[in-house]
Amino acid sequence: MGLRIQTDRWDITLEGANRASIWEGRAAAQTPRLRVRTDNKDHLVELMADDATQQPGGRVYDGVGARLVEETNYRLSIVSRRGDSPSLRHLDPSLIRDVRPIPGHPDVLSGNINFRSQVGDSRFVIGDSESTIEVIVEVRPSKLDYETDYEDLLDSVTGLARQLVLEFLRATTRIASTQTGDDTRHIEWLLLLREEIQSLERALTYITANPHRQLVRETRMVPAERIRRASSATRRAVARGAGEGAWQESDGIGRHRTRLPASQPYETLDSPENRWLEVQLERATTSLAQLRQDFESSQRQRPGRKPNPRTLAIIDELVAMEETLAPFLTMSPFVDASSWVSQSFASLTLQGRPGYREAYQALLRLNMSLIVGGDAVDIPVRDLSELYEIWCFLSVVHQVSQVLGTQVDVFDLVELRDTGVRLTVVPGAQSTVRIAADWCEARVTYNREYKMRSGPQRPDIVIEVLRDDMPPVLLLLDAKYRLDTTPEYVKVFGCPGPPSDAIGQLHRYRDAITVKYPKYRRGRPVVRAVALFPLGDGDSQDWVNHPYFEAIGEVGIGGLPFLPSNTTWVNEWLRHGINAPADRLAWPGPDFIAWSEVGRHHASP
């Protein structure tokens, strides 16, 4: 696999050999992007990608590039044609740390680069004292289908995060009751958002028919004979001869103008409550528009590819939401609310008056849920292995809540800020969610560490099952963004799967982790464990015959494919494990032969 870019100043090459894979043909059918931009002092004269020579001409090239994949070694070389010392910059300095000047040749930079599990656009900036060139290559996943699985993973992480935030915000007022089917499980956050919009629409419709008016006083010029009670402004005007119109005489007052200033009460719709609703309503419509534009931008970045049906459905829903809310900004009383009010404003009328109370709560939840931040959601150039871990955790939390038929207690996962809600799930940091039903409680923890005498043990996802009929037990799930697709592996096992050391690590966890619970002596709580790996539904049809699947029933440890398009295997494993009778759930695998024999011998009379 090769890429060569030649200008009148530089000769740039990127060469390497992608590993053999059963998906090589599938990857070759996909069109990678390449963007090259030079400044006014440069001219692109030749571009060669994967043995295909092109001469685009001009300073900008945006089209087909080389097939570059993650976790593969490439050689990057930059030669200055004018003898200058070239410079190289990248957003991730560790990626290019081995690209250095060649001894004795300061005009040459050369070295190995490996994108690791970073995928997507990767931007290099090459320059000298006079000119620069920007090269953006597209790096594809080697373990995922780029057209479906990778984009599903990105969408699912943000969708699950927004759903958790909506459930968190609703927990302060009411329980979400939205019911969804299998065909909508990827965009449940959008259905919850739609329900919030519908609730807000009903409240705003009631407000437009029954607006709150405020009684205010304003000093105006009125005929003197209509003034019943003189204010201080009226008395001052008489004393100073101020006012409007001709002069006249009145008994007890004397000489004054025919129109005098007077303070009179009147009703207005320009109240602080209506101003607050108008500000928040405009903020919500703006956030919806920005969210829609983000999804539309993701579609425009797919030149030559089929549109993602789910993304198109999300765009249509967001457009419908905008069209639902936008007309209210042109209606009374919101169009009459011309003055600014602080976003932190609150009043008894806003929080207690019918219509206003519902709109107040809905707008707070809506605006907070539309501005969701955090490492789990803000994914520019994300390490794909970390992205996969975060998605696995959020998805397992969601599935455990479905198994137990109860809501997720996400108060430990979210942080309220003035600008929105922040999901506190961070790669490498511990996060715990409590999911409680009447008969069982499950505590799902990400990155939980057990400090053992034999060394620290840190499985990715731990489910602590607490039931009245048995001591606590642990179910482990290790998210492994590792998949062996080589023909040799497939020939032995029948289909792609995780490497053997990923399964061996689970056996180590079960043997090494010991816990001392109240009322129980110290012991090993891990009863079942699986390695999660990225394999789509179509490619995992033969997984039922894989030795690592059969090992789940034989020894309690094995592997399961897990992707947004392929969650059934893990869902069934969780359902059977959490709902299993106590004697089956407590089974730790085959007994130790010597231990059982010695125990039986000593137990004999």
Contact 391, 564 (CB under 8 A): yes
Task: Round to whole Å and give the CA distance between 532 and 561.
Answer: 6
Distance (Å) of CA 456 to CA 448, 461, 577: 10, 15, 26
DSSP state of 591: P
- 367, exposed or middle or buried, with CB in 10 Å at 0-12, 13-18, 19+? buried
Reported as a single tens digit per residue, the pLDDT across 409-442 is 777 777 666 555 667 787 778 889 999 999 999 9
Reported as a single tens digit per residue, the pLDDT across 304-359 is 566 667 778 888 888 999 999 999 999 999 998 877 787 678 788 888 899 999 99
Which helix (H) or strand (E) element contains residue 464?
Answer: strand 461-467
Task: Round to whole Å and give the CA distance between 487 and 22.
Answer: 6
**Percentage of the chain with pLDDT > 70?**
83
Reported as a single tens digit per residue, the pLDDT across 42-56 is 556 556 655 444 555
Task: Name the pLDDT band for 376 (thresholds 50, 70, 90).
Answer: low
Virtual torsion, Cα 157, 161, 163, 167, nearest 10 deg:
160
Q: What pLDDT score does 490 carry?
A: 87
Q: What pLDDT score does 381 carry?
A: 45
The mean pLDDT of 265-279, rounded to a whole number, is 88
* pLDDT over 80 at 466, yes or no: yes
Task: Round to whole Å and give the CA distance between 137 and 236.
Answer: 77
Q: 468 vs 54, which has greater pLDDT?
A: 468
pTM of whole model > 0.75?
A: no
Q: What pLDDT score does 429 carry?
A: 84
Q: What pLDDT score does 58 carry?
A: 60
Q: Which residues of 280-294 are buried (b: 16+ CB within 10 A; e: fewer)?
A: bbebbbebbeebbee
Strand partners, 475: 463, 528
* pLDDT averaged over every residue in the chain: 82
